[in-house]
Structure 1
Amino acid sequence: MYGDMFRGGYPINVRTAGAAVSTRTDPVRRGRVLVDRRTEAQALDRLLDDVRAGESRALVLRGEAGIGKTELLRYLRGRAGDHRIVPAAGVEAESGFAFAGLHQVCVPLLDGLRRIPEPQRVALTIAFGLDTGRPPDPFLVGMAALSLFAETARERPLLCVIDDAQWLDRSSAQVLGFAARRLQAESVALVFAVRDGGDRTEAPELAGLPELLVTGLPEAAARALLASAHAGPVDGGVLDRIIAESQGNPLALLELPRGFTPAELAGGFGLLDSVPLPSRIEESFRRQIAVLSPTARQILLTAAAEPVGDPVLVWRALDRLGVDVDTDPASRAATEEFVTFGARVTFRHPLLRSAVYRAAGAADRRRVQQALAQVTDSATDPDRRAWHRAQATVGEDEEVAAELVRCAARAQARGGPAAAAAFLARASELTPDPARRAQRLLAAAEAEYQAGLPERSVRLLARAEAGPLDEVARAHAYLLRARISFTLDRGVAAPGLLLRAANRLQPLDPRLARETYLEAMQAGWFVGDGGPGPTLRELAAEALAARAAPDPADACDLLLTGLAVRYRDGFPAGTPLLREALSQLAAGPGDEAGLRWLWFAATCAMDGWQYAAADTITDAFVARARRSGTLTALPLALAQRIVVQVFTGELAAADGLVHEFDAVRASTGLDEPSYATQLLVAWRGAEDATAELVAATTKEATQRGEGLGVAAGGWALAVLYNSLCRHDEALAAVLPAAESDADLGVVTWCSLVELITAAARLGRNELAADAVARLRTMTQAAGTDWALGLEARCQALLATDPEPHYRSAVDRLAGTPIRGELARTRLHYGEWLRRQNRRADARRQLRGAYEMFGDMGMTAFAARAARELGSTGETVRRRSGGNAADLTPQEVQIVRLVRAGLSNVEIAARLFISPRTVEWHLSKTFAKLGVTSRRQLRR
C-alpha cells in the first residue's frame, strides 16, 4: 500500500487525511482523494536511506494540530519495514510523571540493558523505579538511552517515533533531546512530532534539532478533501470560507462542518465563530459528542481521563461507575467513531480526547477520577493513584496532600524534580494548614529550580512567600530567590541578594550561611566593581565579620576566609590562606566538595600562578563531573581545564575539550559563556573567529551587567592583536580592564601583562610602568616561577638593560610547563637581540620560539617569529602539518584518548557519544593517518 503513497498524490481515508485506512461506520468517509505530500515523503525517505547506510538522524515534524504529522509518522513506519520500530506518544495527562515518555521508548529495548556501561545502566534503572540509589543526573540517563539505542541498532536499524512530543514530561524530553543531539553513526533515527499552538508549543528540549515544517494542503487538494467528506449541498460562500479559514488543515476540513445540519451548511447560519482554529476543531468535536447517549459519553469521558491508555483500567472504572456496557451495545458501538479499544485505548486525535474531557461537567470529571483512583493499584502504581485522587478532591484534604508529598519524594529519588514540583504544587492546593501549605509551595519552587525552570520557580516562590513561613523557611526562600537571580542573570542584582540571604541565614544555619557568602563572592567576581550592589571588598568584609571561629576547619572555610582576606586586605594577605586551601583540595576532596568547591579552587590556583594546583584541581574537576554524570557542572570544569591547557600550550588537547564543551552546551541547553574558547582561538591567531566570539560574549555580558565577561573579551583581543603586532588595538582592547579597580584574578593580571606589552611597544612607558608596579605586588606575593618569570619579562620591556631580566624570565619559565609564555619571552628576547645586531644570539632565541609556536599551533606568533628570523638572514623552513592536519577536533580527541589507553566504551562515556560512533571515527582516522591498528596510533 505504501509503495504508491506521496508519488504525486496518494489515496487517503478522509477521516484522517493521511493514510489509506478503511472505516466501518460512515459511508461518506469511505471516499478517497489524492493529497500531495511529496516534499515531506522525500525527506522521510532520505532519512531512512541515511539510517540504512549506517548514519543516525534526528528530525522534528512541526505543525499545528490536525495538519497531518501523525499520518506522516505512519507513512515513515510503513516505509521502515527493515527497521526495529518503537512508537511512543506524549500524553498531556502524563506530562507530570518523571520519565513516563522515556519509559515508553526504552521498555521494548531493555533486553540490551546489560550491554551498556554500568553507571548508565544504574542511572536508567533508578529513573524507571527499578532500583534505588542516588538520584541520577538526567544527562547520565540520556547517555544510557543513547547507549541502549546504539546497542539495539547493532542487530538492525532502529526507528523511534514519538508523536505529540510537546506533551512529553520534562525529564523524558530532556533525555531524548540529549540523545538526539549525540546521535552520529549508530543506525538510529529519532523522529518527533511537535504541535505548534496551544499551551506548550516550543518543546524547548528539542530546540536546534533538524525540523520539517508540515503545512496545510494546497487549495485544490483541500477542496477535493472537503467535497469527498461532505457530499451534501454546501453554500458556495460557506465552502470558500471553510477553505480559507482552515488554511489547508486536513483535520479542520473534515471536522469543522460536522455537527451542523444540512441547512446550516447550505446557508452558513452560525458557522465558524472568530476563535482560534484548534478551539473551533474542539468545538466541532463537542457538537459531535453532544448527540451521543449518556452511556456513550460516560465511556468516552472515562477513556479520556485514563492517561496510560489501559483498557482494563477503563472497563474497571466504568464498572465502578455502574456503567453496564453489555446492556447498551448501541452506545458502545457509537464510541467506535471516536476511540479504539485495542491493546491500548486510542482516540482518533488528541484534540478529541481533550474535547471529551472539557465537555464534561466538573462533577462528572471528579466521579471518573475517583473511580480510576479506586481501580489503580496502590502498590504497583501509587503515583497515578494519588494523582487521580487529587483530581477527584474538592477543597482541602490533608490525607490526599500528604500522599502527593510522598509521590514527590519518589519522583526526586528517581531524578525527576519537575514531576516532584507538580506533585508538591497540587499538594499545596489541597493543604488546609496555611503554614504547611507555604512550606510545600517553597519545596515545589525549589524542585522547579532544580529542574532548570527558574521562571516557574519564581511564581511558586512568590506564593510561598505570601504565606506564613517561619524564620528558617523564609531565609531559605530568600536564598532560593537569590540563586534564581544568579541563574537567570549573572548580573548586578545577584551579589546583593546572596549577601542578604547569607545574613539572614547566619543566626539560623551558620554552615549554609558561610556557603552562601562564598556564592555571593562568586557572583561579585562575575559582576566586578561596576555595579550598584556591594563590591567584592564589601562582600569580603561581611563574610569575615560573620566568621564564627578564628580557625577554619574545612575546604569551604579555608576558601571563604582566604578569598575574603584577599579582597578586603589585598592579594598578599590572602595568598597564604588560599595556598593552604588549595593544598587541602588538591590532596583529594570528597565527592561533594569536588563538585561544589573545585570551581573556586581552580580559579584561585590560576589567580595565584600556582600551576601544579591548577593542573591537579582542574583535571580532578573534569574527571569528577564526567564520572558522576553531572553535566550541569561539566561545562564549568571544561572551561577551566581549557584555560590551563592554553597556558601550557596544549592547544590541540584544548581543541578537543572545546568540542566537548560545545557538545554539552548544545545537548543540555546550559548557557555557559565561551570565554575559554575565545581565549584559545586568540592564542591560535584566528582573527575572525576571535572577533566573532568576543563580540557575542561581550554583548551578552554587557546586557547582564557582568564585568568579568567584558574584561575576558578584552584580554582575548589583546592576546590576538599583540601576536599580530597591532599594539594600538591591543592596548585599546585591554585598557578598561587593566585600569579597573576590580580584582578579577587571572583576567586582571593577564590584562596587565598584555597592557604592558602593548604600551611598551607604543612608547607609553609611564602607563606600562604603573601596570608593572601593580603586577609586582601580586607576583611577589605569589612567589612562583610562573609569576616571577612574567614579572621579569615585563620589566625587560621597559629596562635600559633588559638582558638580565630576559635571562631571568627564560630561566624561570623554562622550569614550568607554561610553554606559551616561555615562547613569547624568547620571541621578545630575540627581537631585542636582533635590534642590537647580535644576529647569532637572536637566531637561537627566535628559532626556539618559532619551533615552540609551531608545535603548539600558535600560528600568528609563529609567523611573527618567522619574520624576525628572516630579518636575521636565516631561511625559515615551512612546517608541514602532515596527515594529522586532516583530522577533525573530535578525531584528534579520540586519538589522544586511545593513546592514553582508554577503551572505546570509556572514550564514548568521556565524550558523550556511543561506542559505535567511536568505532566509526577510528575507522576514518585509520584511513587518514595510514595506520591499521590502535597499537600504531599509540606509537
Structure 2
Amino acid sequence: MLIGRETEQRRVDRLVAGARIGRGGALAVTGEPGVGKTALIDDALGRLEGVQVLRATGTEAEKDLAFAGLHLLLRPALHLLDALPEPQEAALSSALALKAGTAGDRFAIGAATLALLCRYAEQAPIAVVVDDLQWFDRPSAEALAFAARRIDADPAVVLLAGRSGACDDLVGGLDVLELSGLDAAAAGDLVRALEVAPPTDEQVARLFAATGGNPLALLELARNIELLDDRAPGLPPALPATLTAAFSRRLAELDPGTRTALLAAVVANGDLHHTGEVCRRLGLHVSGLGPAERAGLVVVTGSRVDVRHPLVRAAVYSEADESLRRVVHLAVADLLPDDAERRAWHLAEATWGPDPEVAGLLEAAADSAAARTAYTVASTAYERAARLSTDTDRWHVMLCTAAEAAWTGGLHDRAVALLDEIETQSVPERTRSRTLRIRAQIAARSGSVADAVDILERAAPDAPTPDDAVFLLAEALHAAFYLADAAVSTRLTTSLTGAVAAAGSPRARAIGLAATGMAKVLSGEGGLAEIQTSVPLLAAHADPVEHPEALPWLLTTPLFLRDAETGAELRRIVDDVRSRMGVGLLPNVLFHVARDQATSTAWSRAAANYEEAIRLARETGQGTDLAMSLAGLAWLESRQGRGDACREHATEAVRLCTQRGIRMGEAWCLYAVGDLELATGDPRAATETFLDLSRRLQEWGIADPDLSPGAELVDALLRLGRPAEAEAEARRYAAAARTKGRPWSVARAHRALGTVADHRSFDAHFEAAIEHHADTRDLFEAARTHLAYGGRLRRAGRRVDARAHLRAGLESFDDLGAEPWARTTAAELEATGEKVARREASGAASLTPQELQVSLLLAEGRTTRETAAALFLSPKTVEYHLRKVYTKLDIHSRAELAEQLLGS
C-alpha cells in the first residue's frame, strides 16, 4: 500500500478510467531517484482488470542499442504488424530489425508505433508503461513519445517514468506529474512501518530533514541511520551519493563470489542464462545470487535477474574492479555471436586501448543503427569507433559522421562539440568541407540564417565535384531567400553560374538554374528564363525522395512563376511524394504547399497545412520552418479577417525571425498586418505599415514586384485622400510589374492604375487586369480587382455595370472565406440599390484545422486508416473528428462531405 500519495493516485486513476471508455491519454511521472515513480505506477497497474499491459524498463546496458527498448515494449503486439498500412509496417519492421529495408525517418517510426498500439487496443484497453525512461535508447524513447502525444480517442493510456532533468526534452508536450518527497507525516508513517527498531521522533525528524521525504532514501537510511553522522552538523547528506554509500555498504556485506555474480547480472542486463554462463566461466555458480536476493538487492524470476533500483546497478558496477569489469564484458561478448551490435559494445568496454577490429565492429553497428534512423545511437557508436581506431585516415571521417548523426538525431550541442573537436585537428580538406556543411545545416535550421549562408559559401570552393559545388551554392541561395539580402544573393549567383556550367548531371543543372533564376527575380534582374528552363529538368531528373537536395526547388519554382499552368507538373510530383515522406521533412513541404494553396482557391487546405506545419515544426525543433509557417498563416488570416489570430501569429513569427535573421518572414508579417488594417477600415495604419515594408524591401535590395505592397498602398493612400501620392505609387509599381512581365503582378498593376486613372481610361486598365488574372490561380486578387472596378463604376454613376463586377467579387470572397472583403463588397453592392443576402459561415469555415485536415483527406477518397497514417493520428481519433464534422455540417455520409468540401 502506498503511503502519502493519495492525490497522485487519483490523477493516475482518472487517466486510466478515461482510457477504459475510449478517452486515451498519456502521463509522464518524473522525479529524483527513489522518489516513488515506479511504486505509483505499480499501484495503478495492480488495480487494473481486463487491461492489456505493455511494459519495459530502460537500462544503462542497452541505452546505446538502437530500438532495443521499443522492441522489448512492443513484443506482445508484433503479431499485428502485418495489419498496418504497408509504409508503416515497413518502417517499424526495419527499425526493429525484423525485416531488411529502409526505416524512413525517426518520426515515421513514431507514427508506426502509434498505429500498432492503436491496433492492439482494438482487442481490449491497453496500458503502455515505461520505467527508467532516461535509460531507454533515445530512438525508442522518441518514437514512443511521438505516439504518446497523439493518443486521443483510443482505449489506451501511456505512463512514462523517468528522472527529472534527464528526459525533459522527451516528455515535452505531455502532461507531467512531478513527484516530490513525502510530507513529514507520511515520511514518519513509512519509516515506522519498517521491520527494524522503531525510530524515535527525533530520528524521524532528522531522516525527513536529510532526505526531503524521498521514500527510497528514507527506507535505506532508516536501516543505516548512522550514515547521517558522516556529515558535518547542519549539512544534509549527499544524495544520491549517500544512497549509493548505503547500497555499497550492503554490497560489502556480501562475499566476493556473490558480488561478482551481481556484476555479471548487471553487465548481462538481467539475462539469467548469460549471467549463469559468465559465472561458470569465472569458476562460480549462479546460485551465488541467493544472498543478494535475500538482501533485497535483486529479484530472480524465470529467466530474469532484476536489480532492485538503478542506484543498486550503479553501486555494483562502480564498486567492481576495473579489470574484472572488462573480463565480464568480454565473456558476455563471447555469448553474443549473432548479435553484432551488443557484441560490439561489450567488446568496446572490454578493450584497454585502440583496437582496429573493435572499431570496425562499432562502425558497422553505427551503420546499422543509422540505416534504421537511430541516429543518436549511431552517433555514439561512430564516436567510440573513432576513439578506438588506429587508422589515421579514418578517425576524422567517423567523428564527422558522428556529428552528422547527432545533428540528424536532434542533439544540437553534441553535434557542435564534435565539430569543434574535429576542427582543432589537422584534417583533409574534404573532411573540413563536410564539417562546414553540417555547421551550415545546423545554423539554417536552428541558428542564424546568415551564418548558414556564410558557411556554405566558404565550403563551395572545396567541394569534391562540380555537382557538389552546385548543391552547396544552391543551398546557400535558398537560405539567402529567407535572409532577403539581394547583395548576398547576387554574389552567390555569380559563383553559381560558373558552377552550373561545369555541372555533370541534369539534376545539378536543374537545381542550379532554379536557384540562379530565383535570386535574379528577387533582385529584379530577370531570372524567369532560367526558372522556366529548370522546370522540365526538375520534373524529369529530381525525385525529392531519392534526391532531397532537389526538394526546395520543386516547391519554390511554382511560387516564383505564379501562373495557372507552368509548374503544374512539379505540383503533381510534390503531391505524390508527400505520402512517401517522413514527418521530419513535412514541416518544410507543408509550408511551401500551403503558401502555394494560399495564392489559389484552396484557402481551407492552406490553413490546414499551415497549422500542421506549425505543429510538426514545433515538435521537431525546426525553427526556420516554424517562423515562416506562422508568417504565412498570419498573412492568410489577415485576408480572412481573423484579426486576433493574425496578430498573435505575426507577433510570434516576428520574434522568431528577428532572432534568426529571417527578413523574408518579417516582410510577410508586415504585409499581413497591413492587409488586415486595410481590410478592417484603418487606412492610416495600413499606409504606415506598407510604407515601412516598402522601405525595408528597398534597403534589402528586393525588387520583385510580387513582394511589393504597391497595389495595396495605392488603395490605402486613396482612402486617406492622397491621390497624387497614390498615382505616383501606381506608376512606380506598374513599371516594375511590366519589367517582370508575369500575369500576376501585371494584373495587380493594372488594378492600381485603374483606381487612379481618369474617367476616360480606367475601364481599359481594369479590363486588362481581369484578362491577366485569368492566367493566374489567384481568385482573391481577381476578386479585389472586381471590387475596385465595381466601386469605380458605381462612383461614375454606372450602377448596372458595377453590379456585375461586385457580384463576381462577392461570390469569390464568400467562396474563399475572405469575410472583411466580402462585407465591403456587399456594402458597395447595396450602394448600387441591390438587396444583398449574405451567406452564413458554413462548410470548411466552421471546422477546426484538425477537423479540416481529416475531412479533406476523407473527402478525397482515403480510408480511415490511410487518413490516420497521413496525419499521424489513430483511426479512432480520425473517427472522433469525423463525427464532430458530421454534426457541424449536418451531413451523414462521406459523399455529402466530399460535396461540401471539395468545391471549397
CA distance 1:382–1:468, shift in 2 (3 Å): same
One of 604, 619, 641 as aligned partner of 2:557: 604
CA distance in 1, matches of 2:550, 2:594: 18
Of the candidates 86, 111, 118, which is equivalent to residue 86 of structure 2?
Answer: 118
The DSSP-based 3-state class of the residue aligned with 2:193 is: helix
1:645 aligned residue: 597
- Equivalent residue runs for 1:768-847 within 5 Å: 772=730, 775-776=733-734, 779-780=737-738, 782-800=740-758, 801-847=761-807
Contact 1:490 1:523 in 2 (8 A): no
Q: CA deviation at 1:542?
A: 2.2
Q: Which residue of 1 aligns with 2:428?
A: 470
Cα distance in 1 for partners of 2:363, 2:67 equals 18
C-alpha spacing 1:378/1:486, structure 2 compared with 1 (3 Å): same
Cα pair 1:142 1:175 within 8 Å, conserved: yes
How far 1:731 sits from its partner (Å)?
2.7
Flag the 1:67–1:887 CA change in 2: closer, same or farther, 3 A.
same
C-alpha displacement at 1:925, in angstroms?
A: 3.2
Q: Deviations along 1:601-659, whole A, 9 cap, x unmatched?
A: 432332232343455534532441x3223222211111122122222232222233234
Q: 1:539 to 1:439 in 2, by over 3 A?
A: same
Structure 1: where are the runs of 5+ without partners? Answer: 1-10, 12-17, 19-34
Q: Is the 2:268–2:332 Cα contact (8 Å) retained in structure 1?
A: yes
Structure 1 CA distance for aligned equivalents of residues 687 and 508 of structure 2: 38
Shift of 1:556: 3.5
C-alpha distance in 1 between matches for 2:532 and 2:92? 41
- The correspondence for 2:506, drawn from 554, 558, 566, is 554
**Per the alignment, do residues 84 and 233 of structure 1 end up closer, same or farther by CA in structure 2, a change over 3 Å counting?**
closer
- Aligned twin of 1:345: 305
Question: Residues of 2 paired with 1:487 and 1:882: CA distance?
Answer: 38
Residues of 2 paired with 1:170 and 1:598: CA distance? 28
- Counterpart position of 1:405: 363
Report how far residue 893 of structure 1 moved: 3.2
1:537 alignment partner in structure 2: 490
Kindly indicate whether residue 257 of structure 2 is the aligned counterpart of residue 295 of structure 1. yes
Give the secondary structure class of the aligned counterpart of 1:186: coil
Aligned to 2:61: 93
Other-structure match for 1:686: 642
Superposed, 1:39-118 pairs within 5 Å as 39-118=7-86
- 1:826–1:849 Cα contact (<8 Å) kept: yes
Distance 2:495 2:748 in 1: 34
The CA distance in 2 between the partners of 1:346 and 1:834, in whole Å, is: 85
Q: Which amino acid aligns with 2:479?
A: A
324, 343, 347: which is aligned to 2:285? 324
Contact 1:418 1:448 in 2 (8 A): yes
TM-score (norm 2): 0.93
Asked whether the equivalents of residues 95 and 109 of structure 2 are also in contact (C-alpha less than 8 Å), the reply is yes
Deviation of 1:878 after TM superposition, in Å, equals 3.1
TM-score by length of 1: 0.89
Match of 2:437 among 462, 479, 494: 479
Matched, 1:283 2:213: no
| Offset at residue 560 of structure 1 (A) | 2.1
How far off its partner does 1:325 sit? 4.4
AA in 1 matched with 2:492: L
Q: Give 1:341-380 correspondences, 5 Å limit.
A: 341-375=301-335, 377-379=336-338
Report the Cα distance in structure 2 between the residues aligned to 1:353 and 1:463, rounded to whole angstroms: 32
Equivalence map 1:195-274=2 (5 Å): 195-197=163-165, 200-202=166-168, 204-229=169-194, 231-232=196-197, 238-261=203-226, 274=236
1-structure distance, mates of 2:208, 2:644: 51
Residue among 909, 913, 919 paired with 2:879: 919
Is the Cα–Cα contact under 8 Å of residues 434 and 467 in structure 1 kept in the other structure? no
Shift, 1:799, TM fit: 2.4
Q: 1:8 maps to which residue? A: none
Q: 2:811 aligns with which of 851, 858, 869?
A: 851
Aligned-pair CA distance for 1:774: 5.7
Residue 192 in structure 1 maps to residue 160 in structure 2: yes
Pick aligned residue for 1:874 from 834, 839, 842? 834
Gapped regions of structure 2 (runs ≥ 5): 900-904
Letter in 1 for 2:179: V
Q: For residue 339 of structure 1, report the CA deviation from its aligned partner.
A: 4.2
Q: Percent identity?
A: 33
Q: Which moved more, 1:565-574 or 1:411-420?
A: 565-574
The verdict on how the C-alpha distance between 1:235 and 1:924 changes in structure 2, with shifts beyond 3 A counting, is closer
Choose 916-925 or 638-647, whichever is displaced more.
Answer: 916-925
Give the counterpart letter for 1:470 in structure 2: P
Q: Alpha carbons of 1:521 and 1:765: their partners in 2 closer, same or farther (altered >3 Å)?
A: farther
- What SS does the aligned partner of 1:59 have? strand
Instruction: Report how far residue 590 of structure 1 moved.
Output: 2.3
The 1:824/1:841 distance shift into structure 2, 3 A limit, reads same
Identify the residue that residue 22 of structure 1 maps to in structure 2.
none
Deviation at 1:499, TM superposition (A): 0.1
Q: In 1, are the aligned partners of 2:29 and 2:162 still within 8 Å (CA)?
A: yes
The one-letter amino acid of 1:729's match is A
Q: Please report how far the alpha carbon of residue 414 of structure 1 lies from its aligned counterpart in structure 2 after TM superposition.
A: 1.8
| Matched residue type, 1:732 | E
In the TM superposition, residue 754 of structure 1 has moved relative to its aligned partner by: 3.1
Is contact 1:90-1:162 (8 Å) kept? yes
Structure 1 residues 927 and 84, CA, compared in 2 at 3 Å: closer, same or farther? Answer: same
Q: Deviations over 1:806-828 (max 9, x none)?
A: 12212321454311111111111
Shift of 1:535: 1.4
Task: Specify whether residues 576 and 689 from structure 1 end up closer, same or farther in structure 2 by C-alpha distance, changes over 3 A only.
Answer: same
Match of 1:808, SS state, is helix
- Which residue of structure 1 aligns with residue 675 of structure 2? 719
Match of 1:26 in 2: none
Q: 1:527 aligns with which of 477, 480, 483?
A: 483
CA separation of 1:107 and 1:330: change in aligned 2, threshold 3 A: closer
User: Which amino acid letter does the alignment assign opposite residue 378 of structure 1?
Assistant: P
Deviation per residue, 1:793-849 (Å, 9 max, x gap): 122233234222112212321454311111111111222223223333333322322
| Aligned equivalent of 1:696, options 629, 636, 652 | 652
The residue aligned with 1:14 is none
2:876 and 2:239 map into 1 onto residues whose CA distance is 45
* Separation in structure 1 between the aligned mates of residue 890 and residue 723 of structure 2, nearest angstrom: 54
Whether the 8 Å CA contact 1:120–1:143 is kept in 2: the answer is yes
Query: In structure 1, what is the Cα distance between the partners aligned to 2:891 and 2:360?
Result: 64
Structure 1's 883 and 795: CA in aligned 2 closer, same or farther, altered over 3 A?
A: closer
1:765-808: CA deviations, max 9, x gaps? 66656655664465335544333212211222332342221122
Aligned residue type for 1:735: L
8 A Cα contact 2:727 2:756, kept in partner: yes
Among 154, 161, 174, which residue is 2:142 paired with? 174
Aligned to 1:304: 266
Match of 1:514 among 467, 470, 473: 470
What SS is found at the alignment partner of 1:189?
A: strand
Q: 1:419 to 1:330 in 2, by over 3 A?
A: closer
Q: Quick one: distance in 2 between partners of 1:769 and 1:361?
A: 87
- Partner Cα distance (1:608, 1:277) in 2: 65
Q: 2:631 matched to 1:675?
A: yes
Letter of the 1:279 counterpart: A
Q: Does 1:585 align with 2:550?
A: no
Deviates more, 1:42-51 or 1:237-246: 237-246
State the partner residue of 1:495.
453
SS of 2:23's equivalent? coil
Query: Counterpart of 1:382?
Result: 340
Aligned match of 2:902: none
Residues 160 and 329 (structure 1 numbering): CA distance in 2 closer, same or farther, change over 3 Å? closer
CA RMSD of aligned residues (A): 2.7
- Taking the aligned partners of 1:233 and 1:858, their CA distance within structure 2 comes to 75
Secondary structure of the structure 2 residue equivalent to 1:573: coil
CA distance in 1, matches of 2:322, 2:196: 38
SS in 1 for 2:556: helix
The residue type paired with residue 288 of structure 1 is R
